[in-house]
């Protein structure tokens, strides 16, 4: 009888939570440095931006995520503008990263596009380590700010310790 009980104990299903069961099996726990689970990209909504909106709030209108510096951790690129309520406020384009600490807040590491360029981001992607944005702008100060009349394709890539804007075949052109 004792042998039957001992044998039945060998064939019992695992107990505890899935994390406890995996940790007991020798896999790394969530806070273990051997953990190979990819870290999530920084949350653009949780970041602080150096955008002066003169008291108005800012809004994140587009984001893209990807590993830009080949360190194995994804960055987030965020298109941010003042939430003016009307018109077409210019965008700024920021790169965010996250420190290795599990509860670390997003940290701004680069500004790719400043609001002073008076451009609006309409499409934002990251592919093969390259940030690509379609930008709408103005051919002259006489063009009304609600009606951009130029379109440009802009690309940035991490190289030599900083982001460099790549030249594209398409220069600013009328829309």
Q: What is the pLDDT of residues 98-142, one digit of tens each?
A: 887 777 889 999 999 999 999 999 999 999 999 999 999 999 999
Could you give the number of structural domains in the chain? 2
Q: Specify the 3-state DSSP secondary structure of 134.
A: strand
Q: Specify the 3-state DSSP secondary structure of 2.
A: helix
- pLDDT tens-digit series, residues 125-134: 999 999 999 9
CA distances from 165 to 1, 11, 89, 93, 108 (A): 77, 61, 23, 13, 18
Q: Are 21 and 51 found together in one domain?
A: no
Q: Are 73 and 130 found together in one domain?
A: yes
Q: Are 51 and 33 found together in one domain?
A: no
Name the more confident of 171 and 148: 148
- Cβ atoms within 10 A of the Cβ of 61, count? 17
- What residue numbers bound the domain in which 164 lies? 44-174
Q: Model confidence at 152, in pLDDT bands (50, 70, 90)?
A: very high
Element (DSSP H or E) covering residue 6? helix 2-10
Q: Are 29 and 115 found together in one domain?
A: no
Tell me the C-alpha distance between 74 and 131, whole Å: 13
| Torsion angles phi and psi, residue 42, rounded to 5 | -60, 145
Mean pLDDT of the chain: 80
Over pLDDT 70: what percentage of the chain? Answer: 73
Tell me the C-alpha distance between 59 and 55, whole Å: 13
């Amino acid at each position: 009888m004792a042998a039957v009980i001992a044998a039945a104990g060998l064939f019992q299903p695992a107990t505890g939570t899935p994390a406890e069961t995996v940790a007991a099996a020798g896999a790394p726990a969530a806070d273990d440095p051997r953990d190979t689970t990819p870290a999530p990209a920084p949350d653009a909504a949780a970041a602080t931006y150096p955008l002066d909106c003169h008291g108005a709030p800012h809004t994140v209108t587009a984001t893209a995520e990807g590993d830009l510096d080949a360190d194995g951790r994804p960055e987030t690129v965020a298109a941010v503008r003042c939430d003016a309520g009307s018109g077409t406020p210019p965008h700024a384009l920021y790169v965010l990263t996250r420190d290795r600490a599990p509860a670390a807040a997003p940290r701004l590491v680069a500004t790719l596009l400043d609001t002073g360029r008076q451009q609006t981001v309409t499409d934002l992607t990251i592919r093969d380590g390259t940030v690509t944005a379609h930008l709408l702008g103005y051919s002259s100060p006489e063009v009304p700010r609600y009606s951009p009349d130029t379109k440009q394709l802009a690309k940035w890539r991490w190289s030599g310790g900083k982001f460099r804007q790549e030249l594209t075949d398409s220069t600013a052109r009328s829309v």
